[in-house]
Structure 1
Amino acid sequence: MTRYLISDHHFGHANIIEYCDRPFSSPGEMDGVLLDRHYETVDPDDTLVHLGDVAMDMRDGRETVERFEQLDGDLLVRGNHDVGLTPGEAPFPVVESCVLAQGDEEFYCTHRPENVPDSWDGWAIHGHVHNNDTEHFPFVAGQEQRVNVSAELLDYRPVALDALVHLLDTCDASTRLRDVEQARAWLDDR
């Protein structure tokens, strides 16, 4: 069993295509690719921790539930576009944040990077900022000990927590990796 992380699918959200310069011609095409890449990556016995904004669901949570169940998700850290979902009424766990441990590492997981507590002195994993400011919020920001798992930075494919730990073990404070593609090339050079 492998644990995977991703955020900001924004299923069915037409405006996200332009806002994040996603390479899709329609929400239908985008949704299909997102699901295909998910199923190519995550096995049924794996665990998916989604760091928010499953869909553009501001009203009643039905679309978030439907899409999260399509992903066979295990834990949702609620994002700002999942606000229609009432945590107590969801058929899966919904939290505002969580801490995940992998080996000797612990990760504070939240949707918005600004919600990481000042007292947290380890790595934080977040979404929310997409690919719109990779100078400040790249996939990996070593000095800030931050990982941005917004879908655009992961080539729309969840990232395994153990692979992320392996990557971070090779990083130092000066490491800044814009996206997962740059991270793969960086690891290949090591």
Structure 2
Amino acid sequence: MSNVFFISDHHFGHKPIIDFESRPFKDVDEMNEVMIEKWNAVVGKQDKVFHLGDFSFLNKEKTQAIVSRLNGYKILILGNHDRGRSRAWWLDAGFDEVSEYPIIYKDFFFLSHEPMYMNFHMPYVNVHGHIHSQKYEGVNYFNVSVEHWDYTPLTFEQIRDAVVPSEEQ
């Protein structure tokens, strides 16, 4: 049985993010390698991963090299730093699917790069990235930026169990 994972904001190849977010890496090469190792430590070949944007700052060849090393069927929801490149570019870089728009998953989880406005009438939980180490308050938001999760993708069950009271599962 395969698992479904969620993660965002790797910023592969982006040296300034180490200082911007106080990432615990001596340089960009170490950051890239550790993040690949942490991904593959939990994601198997048959698993599915939703990457919620801001994947890589590298050129296509170097991005392809990273994507090809990562386990799983990879779906990218474009983030603000990904949008300078076309869907076709990201597909050529190795993603199995690429969406320019948010995705509703299991009729309840609203997957997007940036946090989306959720009023109290909306039944969704917004699984998002973009704001890195910051956090939105409230039960309608779940930040999967790498800084919150030790650079490791989270399973669907980890997110569900954190946001849905156990009697509703």
- TM-score under structure 2 length normalisation: 0.82
Aligned to 1:94: 98
Do 1:55 and 1:67's aligned partners in 2 also have CA atoms closer than 8 Å?
Answer: no
1:66, CA displacement in angstroms? 4.1
Aligned to 1:177: none
Aligned to 2:163: 168
Give the 5 Å matches for 1:111-130: 111-114=113-116, 120-130=122-132
* CA spacing shift, 1:110–1:77, aligned 2, 3 Å: same
Greater relative contact order, per chain length (Cα 8 Å cut-off, separation 6+) = 2
Aligned to 1:69: 68
1:152, CA displacement in angstroms? 0.3
1:120, CA displacement in angstroms? 4.5
DSSP-derived class of the 2:108 partner: strand
Q: Does 1:56 align with 2:57?
A: yes
* 2-structure distance, mates of 1:84, 1:66: 20
* CA spacing shift, 1:55–1:33, aligned 2, 3 Å: same
Do 2:108 and 2:123's aligned partners in 1 also have CA atoms closer than 8 Å?
Answer: no
Percent of aligned pairs sharing the same letter: 28
* CA spacing shift, 1:166–1:46, aligned 2, 3 Å: same
- Letter of the 2:86 partner, please give it: T
Aligned to 1:44: 45
2:143 pairs with 141, 148, 152, which one?
A: 148
Q: Deviations over 1:38-62 (max 9, x none)?
A: 11110111101100011125xx755
- TM-score under structure 1 length normalisation: 0.74
Q: Which runs of 5+ in 2 are unaligned?
A: none
* 1-structure distance, mates of 2:20, 2:104: 30
Aligned length: 158
* CA spacing shift, 1:126–1:62, aligned 2, 3 Å: farther
> Once superposed, what is the RMSD of the aligned Cα atoms?
2.3
Aligned to 2:24: 23
Aligned to 1:183: none
Aligned to 2:112: 110
Do 1:62 and 1:85's aligned partners in 2 also have CA atoms closer than 8 Å?
Answer: no
Q: Does 1:84 align with 2:84?
A: yes
Q: Which runs of 5+ in 1 are unaligned?
A: 172-190
Moved over 6 A (4+): none
Do 1:110 and 1:126's aligned partners in 2 also have CA atoms closer than 8 Å?
Answer: yes
